[in-house]
Amino acid sequence: MARLTERQLVARLRERFRSGSGAVRVGIGDDAAVLTRGAGVSVYSVDACVQSVHFDLGYLTLEDTGYRAFQAAVSDLAAMGATPVAALSALILPRELSSADIDELTRGQALASLECECPIVGGNVSRGHELSLTTTVMGECERPLCRDGARPGEELWVVGPLGLAAAGLSCLRLGRSERSRLTRAVRATSSACVDRCIQAWRRPQALLLRGRELGSVASAGIDVSDGLAADAWQLALASRVKIVVDQERLRSALDKSLLETSRLLRRSALTFALYGGEDYALLATGPSWRRPPCASAIGYVARGAGVSLRARGELRPLKRGYDHLVRS
């Protein structure tokens, strides 16, 4: 495991679990699997949220934890342009969790389930050393939006905010002296910006309606869970193209709450947007004349490979960003 990146492991698993079934339209390697069932198309995905890996209860309530784990799973359906049908939830519960704690955790799941119109219909419970929530989601769509459809000459679009969640987590992680400095610097308007960033991390939203809108016009798509750079790399690799992010267009698309909070943190808003992750915005490609009003153009697709940032007329390669199997 220490020698494998996430991409390398997924490639090995794709080869190991190669399916000869004619019902499998999209298998391992995308945001979700797509199966053709009669005249319909079904979409399936699973997402694990593990304590000390994906979340720290020092920064979250148990209700927050249940809520964000469910929204993160459903975001894969949004990335495919699918409508949720139902979900399964597998919980690993440490012994120190009380019945009241479990009520709080599942209250967060239930709230997210209600908001996403995706009922939880079953699952599994087990004891373990750390809290873990694994959510399987099922959806349906007419035309799944996959990662491999980007073509040279198309635009790169983003729907939803970038960098807010990472900035919010950075605020929560401040040491005592830094937190004191930030508190002294905060005005009423700045405080609202900081609160919005923290809320973006604690309570992300799966962009289901926007995903369905993109599904009818975009050529490729992915949700931004690991940071813009990392997920742009996923699109570029799947589509065998080069993706170019325009720095000025990206900066123009950033939320004012991110810009203000980054200023207070003395950090780069662009770095939060490119490498932060956990925003669950949607990244897509398509021709300019099909760009929907909800999308901002932040770059383009070109011939070649990899991902680059265009700044002041020059291109420089972007790092691949977060990898689930490589220590940062």
- What tens-digit pLDDT sequence spans the chain (328 residues)? 456 676 676 676 666 666 555 566 676 666 566 767 666 688 989 999 999 888 888 899 999 999 999 999 999 999 999 999 988 899 999 999 898 999 999 999 999 999 999 998 888 888 999 999 999 999 999 889 999 999 999 999 999 999 999 999 999 988 666 766 776 777 766 888 999 999 999 999 999 999 999 999 999 999 999 999 999 999 999 999 999 999 999 999 999 999 999 999 999 999 999 999 899 999 999 999 999 999 999 999 999 999 999 999 899 999 875 554 454 4
Three-class SS of residue 85? strand
pTM of this structure: 0.85
CB 245 within 8 A of CB 112: no
Pairing mode, strands 242-246 and 306-311: parallel
Give the long-range contacts of residues 286-290, CB within 8 A, separation 24 or more. Answer: 286/154, 286/155, 286/157, 286/214, 286/217, 286/218, 286/219, 287/153, 287/154, 287/155, 287/219, 288/154, 288/155, 290/217, 290/218
CB 66 within 8 A of CB 112: yes
Nearest to residue 135, comparing CAs of 122, 152, 116, 154?
122
Checking phi first, is residue 296 left (phi over 0); if not, alpha (psi -120 to 50) or beta?
beta
Residue 181, both tokens: 């400095």
CB 123 within 8 A of CB 133: no
